[in-house]
Amino acid sequence: MAARAIWKGTLVLGKHEVPIKMYSAVQDQAVHFHLLHDKDLTPVEQRIVRKDNGREVPKEAQRKAFPLDDQRAVILEPEELAQLAPESDRAIHLLRFVPRDALGDEWFERPYYLGPDGQSDADYFALASALAGKERIGIARWVMRDKRYVGALAVGDDGYLRMTTLRRSEQVLDVPAVRPDKARTPSPAEIKLAEQLVDSITGPFSPEEWHNEYRERLHKLIEAKAKGAKLKLVAAKPKEATSDLAESLRASLAQAKGKKVA
């Protein structure tokens, strides 16, 4: 089943314009539940109420307030917000191209595929091919449905263009640099053992090997319960911390090696 494009736009690169369609690259697989009143399982609704008296407030009377500082916020009227909305011209402006590792994984938020749009897909594939030869990603800015986005344009091994939206500076927290004190610094011998252990269970990243077992078991549990089966419940037990590190590493290595032979 072919997916529907969520948006159409134009990649603007210097004097070139390449029309594209945007498709979500992710699909929700979560198990969805309704919230019910425990008394008789009536599905509940959400209401927006005044916090001081619990009275429901209709949509027309709801406003947004922008916090200025710790003391004050300013109510912004709907017409003011509409006036402040960025202008949408469907242009995705490419600002610069940086080496692929210029941005860490923590900046990447939501991925989209870009597909060709319009009469010809020749420019789309020419651009994808040009970008593939560069080991770079393009930083792009655009307005979609009255919202501003910043994204990284890349090309995959499959030859298709993709755009991943980026988080804003204030959203990504800095990594604190820490060095453990002596008592908590592993010895070179321990590190060597750990490297051997890691090596022994190193392999390619094969995403199809990883299943969401929790989701699968949840589906089974629901099925069983729908049929009226009685369920056995199990609780979690916490683990002990490792006390003798070198000994644990050696034992793990022996175990890993044993598994390989078997």
Site for other proteins in 178-237 (CB under 8 A): 178-181, 183-186, 190-191, 194-195, 197-199, 201-205, 207-215, 217-219, 221-222, 225-226, 231-237
Among 68, 82, 261, 262, binds other proteins (CB under 8 A): 68
Structure tokens at 123: 């420019």
| Tokens 């010809």 -> residue | 120
Residue 238 engages other proteins in binding (rule: CB under 8 A): yes
User: By CB under 8 A, is residue 70 in contact with other proteins?
Assistant: yes
CB of 98 to other proteins, least distance (A): 5
Residue type, 262: A
Selected binder of other proteins within 79, 87, 105, 261 (CB under 8 A)? 105
**Could you give the string, one character per residue 32-51, with x where binding to other proteins holds by CB under 8 A and - elsewhere?**
xxxxxxxxxxxxxxxxxxxx
| Cβ distance to other proteins smaller for residue 90 or 116 | 116
3-state SS record for 113-141: EEEECCCCCHHHHHHHHHHHCCCEEEEEE
Provide the minimum distance between the beta carbon of 87 and other proteins in the complex, in angstroms, as a whole number.
Answer: 12
Does residue 101 bind other proteins (CB under 8 A)? Answer: yes
90 or 138: CB nearest other proteins: 138
In the complex, what is the shortest distance from the CB of residue 41 to other proteins, in angstroms, rounded to a whole number?
6
Q: Tell me the closest approach of the beta carbon of residue 175 to other proteins, in angstroms.
A: 5
Neighbours of 92 (CB within 10 A): 26
Sign of CA dihedral 40, 46, 49, 52: positive
How many Å apart are CA 257 and CA 190, to the nearest integer? 18
Under the binding rule (CB under 8 A), the answer on residue 172 touching other proteins is yes
Phi then psi dihedrals of residue 129, to 5 deg = -65, -40
Is residue 27 close enough to count as binding other proteins by CB under 8 A? yes
- If binding is defined by CB under 8 A, does position 144 make contact with other proteins? no
**Residue 89 or 245 with smaller CB distance to other proteins:** 245
Dist. CA 41–CA 165, nearest whole Å: 40
In angstroms, rounded to a whole number, what is the distance separating the alpha carbons of residues 135 and 102? Answer: 11
Nearest-approach distance from CB 83 to other proteins, in angstroms: 9
Structure tokens at 3: 């997916």
Q: How far apart are CA 228 and CA 139, in angstroms?
A: 55
Quickly tell me which residue has 């091994």 as its tokens: 157
